[in-house]
Amino acid sequence: MATQKTSAADFLPDRINLKSLREAAAQCRGCELYRHATQTVFGAGPRRAGLLMVGEMPGDQEDLQGKPFVGPAGRLLDEAITAAGLDRDDVYLTNAVKHFRWEPRGKRRLHKTPSARQVEACKPWLQAEMLVVKPPIVVCLGATAAKALMGKDFRITQQRGELLVSSWADWTIATHHPSAVLRAPEHQERERLRGELVDDLHLAAQQLFRVTGRPAGEHGSARERRSARHRAGGGSG
Ligand code: URA
Ligand code: SF4
């Protein structure tokens, strides 16, 4: 592995929690990507989420809004999460790289895949997020995340949808990136990829239930919390 002059490791806070990490990451200059991005897009979700999902890097909308998965890929991911019987509010969502890498194409900013060096430079943030959240199940969305976590020889085409052992969590599952679903040119191919994404998230949900005996979330799932609030608000149930 090429030696790195700087990386996110130089910017880690002394005390590690989600707030201190988010604040420190906002100042990160561990690689050159901060220069042309609007802001750091740190992970988001409950501190002890049962599921942690890793995407590639923020896109155009995420860069502008400062939150992960709020653009078109995020909408597709939301639908897949719901179809798999999960609740987005129970999932900690983050990315392998925390700044948007892009190149100009007319007036648009076109996504550019982060280099292996940039992924490596950014990894200390992901490692720190894992230390805090300690998710039993990690889902890698797409090749960049899967290679970052499972090694550069990992192939989504060969190993997606399998429960894998890794040093990151009890179980790691790799699946398609929602952007890959959106990019598929043919309707049939798009539906196949979408179906596999939902199946893989469903497997993650089932495994989480097996491991924890709970659907998701630290203090019950978001759905349970909402219905508890609803009952407390004067329902008859
Ligand atoms: N694609 C990603 O990988 N992450 C996001 O947050 C948005 C799009
Ligand atoms: Fe730091 Fe990661 Fe942004 Fe590079 S991409 S500046 S390592 S937060």
How far, in Å, is the centroid of ligand 1 from the Cα of 66?
Answer: 11
Q: How many domains does the chain have?
A: 1
Spatial contact of 74 and 68, defined as CB atoms under 8 Å apart: yes
* CA distances, 36 to each of 33, 95, 223 (Å): 6, 18, 39
Residue 72 in domain: yes
Residue 1 in domain: no
Residue 237 in domain: no
Q: Does the Cβ of 114 fall within 6 Å of ligand 1?
A: no
For residues 89-113, average pLDDT: 97
pLDDT tens by residue, 62-81: 999 999 999 999 999 999 99
Its domain, for residue 32, covers 8-232
- Kindly tell me if the per-residue pLDDT of 9 is higher than 50: yes
Rounded CA gap, 94 and 141, in Å? 10
Residue 187 in domain: yes
Residue 64 in domain: yes
Residue 199 in domain: yes
In DSSP terms, which residues pair with 4 in a beta bridge?
Answer: none
Rounded CA gap, 5 and 130, in Å? 24
| In the chain, % of residues over pLDDT 70 | 89
Residue 149 in domain: yes
The overall average pLDDT reported for the chain is: 93
Quote the pLDDT of residue 214: 76
Q: Does the Cβ of 29 fall within 6 Å of ligand 2?
A: yes
Spatial contact of 95 and 137, defined as CB atoms under 8 Å apart: no
pLDDT tens by residue, 124-182: 999 999 999 999 999 999 999 999 999 999 999 999 999 999 999 999 999 999 999 99
Q: Could you identify the atom of ligand 2 that is nearest to the CA of residue 31?
A: 4
Indicate which CATH number applies to the domain containing 163.
3.40.470.10
Residue 2 in domain: no
How far, in Å, is the centroid of ligand 2 from the Cα of 92?
Answer: 19
